[in-house]
Structure 1
Amino acid sequence: MTAKPKDLIAVLEAMEDVVERQLTAPDALLSELATLLLGFPRDSVQRPRVHRMLGVVYSRLDREADAIKELREARALAASLSPPNYGELGNIARALSALYAARGEDRLAAGELIAAWTFTSIGGSRDDVVKLIADVGHGELDARRFENGALLFDFLLKGNDTLKVPEHAAQSARIGLIQALNALGRHDEIRHHVKETHATLKEEHRRLRFLTQLEAARAAAGLGRHDEAEGALLVAENFLPEDGTAPEHAAFVEAVTEFQEVRAGESAIESLEHLAAQYTEQNQPERIVVACRALASAQRKRGATANALEALGRALHAAMRAKLDVAGELRTELLRRAGSERLVDLAGTKSLIGQNEERDRRFVKLKALGRGSAGESALAVDVASGDLVSLRTLDLGGLPPGHREAALSKQRRAYTTAATLGDPRLAKVRDMRLAEDGMLYTVQSRPAGPTLRDLHAAGADPLRMLDLLALTAGALGVLHARELAHRDLSPEHVVVPRDDQGRERPILVDLGLAPVAGVNGFSGTPPYVAPEQVANEASDARADIHALGQMIAEIWGGRVPTRANLGRLWKRDAEDGMPRAIGELVRSMVAADPERRMTDLNEAAQVLRAQRENAD
């Protein structure tokens, strides 16, 4: 092997410290690392180290393909040495574990972490061991295993003198220990560690000083020392970075709302939701990002994973629309928090409705929306745009070949037609993709706004609901005119955003369109589903009429009525009873026999509007 001058090795050591501690912006490091790489021949024991650092920097720049390429090159070079550089192989595996975790591929991340432990135990230095223990400790905090995190950070601080933990690593470990103790409610143990941190941190360590003050405030609040907590928050505010979208701002907002919750009983979640809604209405994307990030963290601490992911999705959407630099960081956080169980990657699937543009086709599932013979549906976040979407999946792999082709053709015709409608009252069909295993994916837009269910539950006036249901009938008419049916109409599948003039405009979402016999059971959501759907018989647009009739009846009864008590809702002597004209309309819409069911949606909309006008 060719020996290198000592000054080049010294540069490499300094660069290692810069990369590890993130002392310089990652984009400024690329050219320096590329130049440094030229100084080492391919058989040099140091060359894998430079490739690994390049991979880490690319990962921080959200250039995943380049990062994986560099890390794999580093691994191949380190393994080809004689003997293999086991310590560096451990560092490479640690970097790959972090990258896979950031992509939501937690199984790959866990496998690399095991490899990192193995290689580091064989040939790693003391610094390598320290870094690995710290990584696992922070992973335990993220996983809410705070007792494990506390033990690991405490070990780094005092458990093994032979490690000789560097000062900067000890400072970071002490912050991690304080965070774990606070999460465990052991606030009285924190004061000593805060004093130790203040004694060792320098003025330039602004981020660590900020985190220390934040945790000191949490501990004081937990012990009922409110004045002390408020003072710590005021000190922490002085260390906030100038970048208004930096994660420290979200952490500060979260800590302030937590303090308000302890002192005044104001719900931190409700305060943050109100703040996010306020900034959204004011169209302030930087502040939306901060508020939603804080909301996501607060939801995560309460175990509300789906709500936390949705908040991160809102932050990503705001950042993407405003072209904020923080978008890549938010995307990485969203994927890392989601994990593989909620991640859907459609990169290897085939588009069936002509949308073949190159883009990131990853989605994070938030919550299930329902299932039926048109497939299972979930609310999801489009990682590329931050948009909320309805992701419908239908497994055709188990069907006989002839049946599968017929079902696929039926699905494709229905959704291709829907994709060309271009009506603002219908959720846009964005894509339909087929995987090699026969799984069919349909992606539909999911506009922001309350659903009819949300409005009804909040006590919306029946007359207001009449207007919205009349508009819903008009939207259904667009589908029916093209010989399509929604087939899963319910109050949850009508979203009510406001247009530029502030008017409410219902949009039909999560279109079921084309059921497949023998898949998942009947299409539709009980109790709105029509009798013929429950019986797995052929259904058409008249099933939507039945669902709409049930929804109209529900706004007076408070719940979907059974057939036995349906008539009671429009008796004249009933308090807040259904008007007779509406009652007769409902009865004609929910007839058990679809042949006897009314089908004229224009007539239904006219009856609803007439009742609204009579009330005025």
Structure 2
Amino acid sequence: MTEKSKDLIAALDALEETVERRQASPDSLLSELATRLLGFPRDSAERPRAHRMLGVVYSQMGRDADALKELGDARGLAAKLSPPNYRELGNVARAMSAIYAASGDERLARDELITALTFTAIGGTPDEIVRLVADVAQSELQARRFENGALLFEFLLKGNDTLKVPDYAVHDARISLVQALNALGRHEEVPAHVKVSHATLSEDDRRLRFLTQIEAARASAGLGRHDEAEGGLLVAENFLPEDVTAIDHSEFVEAVTELQEVRAGESAVESLKLLVAQYTEQDAAARIVVACRALANALLKRGDVTGALGALGCALRAALHGKLKVAGELRTEILRRAGADRLLDLAGSKSLIGLDGERELRFVKLRPLGHGSAGDSVLALGMDDGEEVSLRTLDLSALGEKEREAVLSRERRAYATVATLHDARIAKIRDMRLAPDGLLYTLQLRPEGPTLRDLYAAGTDPSRMLSLLADTAGALSVLHRRDIVHRDLTPDHVVVGRDNQGRELPVLIELGLAPVAAAPGVAGYPGVPPYVAPEQVAGGDVDTSADIYALGQMIAELWGGRVPARANLGRLWKRDGEDQMPRDIGDLVRGMTAAEPSRRTTDLGDIVEVLKSQQDQAEPNGSQD
């Protein structure tokens, strides 16, 4: 081995711990590693290590694609050596596992971790085995398998005859063990570990000292020593970093609300929700981020992953609005919490309405919204802006390319037109995309608030409902003036949000794809009974009067919670009695739901006038909560 090679290897040895413990900025490490890599010949046994370290640095910078490429190169080079470099193969698998875990792909993360354990057992050093044990222990802690995590962290504190654990790993293991013990309710075991941490941590270990105080306070609260817990939190506050968006601030707020819950019975989750609302009203972006992250952690402890993801989405929106650097960190946290099963990547799809461009096309599914006439809908979180969207999927794989184009031609024009509208009563169209496998995706912003169906079910006062339905008619007029038919108007597809003055505002969502759904070979149907017009069911030509029919059925549904059978309409509507449909409304609905489109009432202005007039006459007997 030449002196130059020895110097290069010594330089890599010196960089190894710096990279592992993040003791220098990624930019400076990237430059130095790239320079070192150029010094090694292609067949050098050290090239795999240099590529692997480059991959780790790229991952620290959030450049996962570059990281995986470098790690892939490292794996290939290490495998080609004779014999293969099992030690380096183990290190590569460990680094890949960390990337997959951070992106939420738990299956790949665990697969790589198993690979890392296998290769490291064959050729790794004791230090590398210790690092892997720590990784496995942390994954158990993240997965809330606290018993397993506690056992592994206890091992790391003691080591054995062959595995000597370095001091920094012992400190990390001790605080993680304390977190596991508190989660298991073994609070009485915590003080001894806290005492050791206080005695061994340096003043520079502010993060670990902060976490130690937080867990000490949690243990005191768990043992009923509330004043002691409060004192511990006051000490922890002294270790908070200046960056107000740092995760420490969220952990602190979460611990404070937990103590309030134990001490005064105030729900930590409800307290944090109120805090988020308060900061939102103040437009305090950094504080919203802190409170939302604390809320997410509190919800995760209750097993509410969907709620936690929604809270993190709120934090991401606030971070982007406030142009805070923490946005990238929040995206990583969302992906890690969501897992691969909730992730939908539309990167390979094509926009049908001209919205392709340089933007994030990954979405995290939050919860189902239901099955409509044109496919399944889910509430999803956009990873580019943190906005919640209604994401609908329709399988067109049975259609050929020309057939798809034929059935989509009109609908894509309608979606493109609606995407240009700036009316608060029409939910913003985000995109219409077609994947190579024939899956059609439509994305529309989902406003916050209940649907009309929710209000029906809650027994909302008819006077309030008539006002909302009148405003729904006004929203329809926005589409109809542009010769656009909704085609899937139901109480589930009207969300009641709020305008800038805080007034209720019905918003139309889920623009219909009835002609596409009803095409031969597509597993959809022309509409949702009883709101779908007869001509739409029959597959005939559909115009704006089909939406009038649906709205008429929605108005009729206010009385008795159901749409009266047509055979009973005349007798029922001609009476004005308690809980019966008023005569003027009955006449209106009769005209709106005529079987023949040509005989229907089609003037939305007249419909609004009748509904408003009836609202003025109605005696309110419910609140607008």
Give TM-score scaled by structure 2 length: 0.88
Q: Hey, what does 1:57 align to over in structure 2?
A: 57
Asked if 1:367 is matched to 2:339, the reply is: no
The answer as to whether partners of 1:432 and 1:442 remain within 8 angstroms in 2 is yes
Distance 2:456 2:290 in 1: 31
Query: Residues 192-271 of structure 1: matches in 2 within 5 Å?
Result: 192-271=192-271
2:613 to 606, 610, 613: 610
Q: Hey, what does 2:351 align to over in structure 1?
A: 351
Distance 1:81 1:568 in 2: 86
Q: What amino acid does structure 2 have at the position aligned with 1:65?
A: A
- Out of 600-609 and 583-592, give the one that drifted further: 583-592
Q: Hey, what does 1:122 align to over in structure 2?
A: 122
% identical equivalent positions: 65
Structure 1 gaps, min length 5? none
- Residue 421 of structure 1, CA deviation: 4.3
- Which deviations, in whole Å up to 9, do the C-alpha atoms of 1:281-332 show, x marking residues without a partner? 2111111111111111111221212111111111111112222111111111
Q: Hey, what does 1:574 align to over in structure 2?
A: 578
Q: Hey, what does 1:516 align to over in structure 2?
A: 517
Q: Hey, what does 2:144 align to over in structure 1?
A: 144
Distance 1:195 1:569 in 2: 78
Q: Hey, what does 1:323 align to over in structure 2?
A: 323
- Out of 234-243 and 455-464, give the one that drifted further: 455-464
Q: What amino acid does structure 1 have at the position aligned with 2:312?
A: L
Distance 1:100 1:261 in 2: 35
- Residue 529 of structure 1, CA deviation: 4.0
Q: What amino acid does structure 2 have at the position aligned with 1:127?
A: D
- Out of 536-545 and 495-504, give the one that drifted further: 536-545
Q: Hey, what does 1:340 align to over in structure 2?
A: 340
- Which deviations, in whole Å up to 9, do the C-alpha atoms of 1:238-266 show, x marking residues without a partner? 11111111111111111111221111111
Flag the 1:597–1:52 CA change in 2: closer, same or farther, 3 A: same
Flag the 1:131–1:385 CA change in 2: closer, same or farther, 3 A: same
Distance 1:393 1:301 in 2: 32
Distance 1:610 1:533 in 2: 31
- Which deviations, in whole Å up to 9, do the C-alpha atoms of 1:176-196 show, x marking residues without a partner? 222222222222222222222
Flag the 1:549–1:145 CA change in 2: closer, same or farther, 3 A: farther
Distance 1:91 1:362 in 2: 29
The answer as to whether partners of 1:372 and 1:523 remain within 8 angstroms in 2 is no
Flag the 1:11–1:533 CA change in 2: closer, same or farther, 3 A: farther
Distance 1:35 1:85 in 2: 23
- Out of 372-381 and 8-17, give the one that drifted further: 8-17
Distance 1:44 1:402 in 2: 55
Asked if 1:289 is matched to 2:321, the reply is: no
Flag the 1:142–1:533 CA change in 2: closer, same or farther, 3 A: farther
Q: Secondary structure at 1:300's aligned position in 2?
A: helix
Q: What amino acid does structure 1 have at the position aligned with 2:551?
A: L
- Residue 544 of structure 1, CA deviation: 3.7
Q: Hey, what does 2:390 align to over in structure 1?
A: 390
Aligned Cα RMSD in Å? 3.2
Q: Hey, what does 1:189 align to over in structure 2?
A: 189
Q: What amino acid does structure 2 have at the position aligned with 1:62?
A: G
Q: Secondary structure at 2:57's aligned position in 1?
A: helix
The answer as to whether partners of 1:434 and 1:440 remain within 8 angstroms in 2 is yes
Distance 1:580 1:356 in 2: 52
The answer as to whether partners of 1:317 and 1:387 remain within 8 angstroms in 2 is yes
Q: Secondary structure at 1:505's aligned position in 2?
A: strand
Structure 2 gaps, min length 5? 620-625
- Residue 469 of structure 1, CA deviation: 2.3
Q: Secondary structure at 1:380's aligned position in 2?
A: strand
Q: What amino acid does structure 2 have at the position aligned with 1:86?
A: Y
Asked if 1:601 is matched to 2:618, the reply is: no
Flag the 1:573–1:504 CA change in 2: closer, same or farther, 3 A: closer
Q: Hey, what does 1:436 align to over in structure 2?
A: 436
The answer as to whether partners of 2:431 and 2:442 remain within 8 angstroms in 1 is yes
Distance 1:69 1:439 in 2: 29
- Out of 433-442 and 402-411, give the one that drifted further: 402-411
Asked if 1:110 is matched to 2:113, the reply is: no
Flag the 1:102–1:606 CA change in 2: closer, same or farther, 3 A: same
- Out of 274-283 and 457-466, give the one that drifted further: 457-466
Q: Hey, what does 2:623 align to over in structure 1?
A: none
Q: What amino acid does structure 2 have at the position aligned with 1:170?
A: V
The answer as to whether partners of 1:2 and 1:44 remain within 8 angstroms in 2 is no
Query: Residues 144-183 of structure 1: matches in 2 within 5 Å?
Result: 144-158=144-158, 160-183=160-183
Flag the 1:453–1:48 CA change in 2: closer, same or farther, 3 A: same
The answer as to whether partners of 2:5 and 2:40 remain within 8 angstroms in 1 is no
Give TM-score scaled by structure 1 length: 0.89
The answer as to whether partners of 2:573 and 2:587 remain within 8 angstroms in 1 is no
Distance 1:570 1:147 in 2: 69
Flag the 1:605–1:2 CA change in 2: closer, same or farther, 3 A: farther
Q: Hey, what does 1:279 align to over in structure 2?
A: 279
- Residue 464 of structure 1, CA deviation: 4.1
Distance 1:231 1:41 in 2: 60
- Residue 74 of structure 1, CA deviation: 2.4
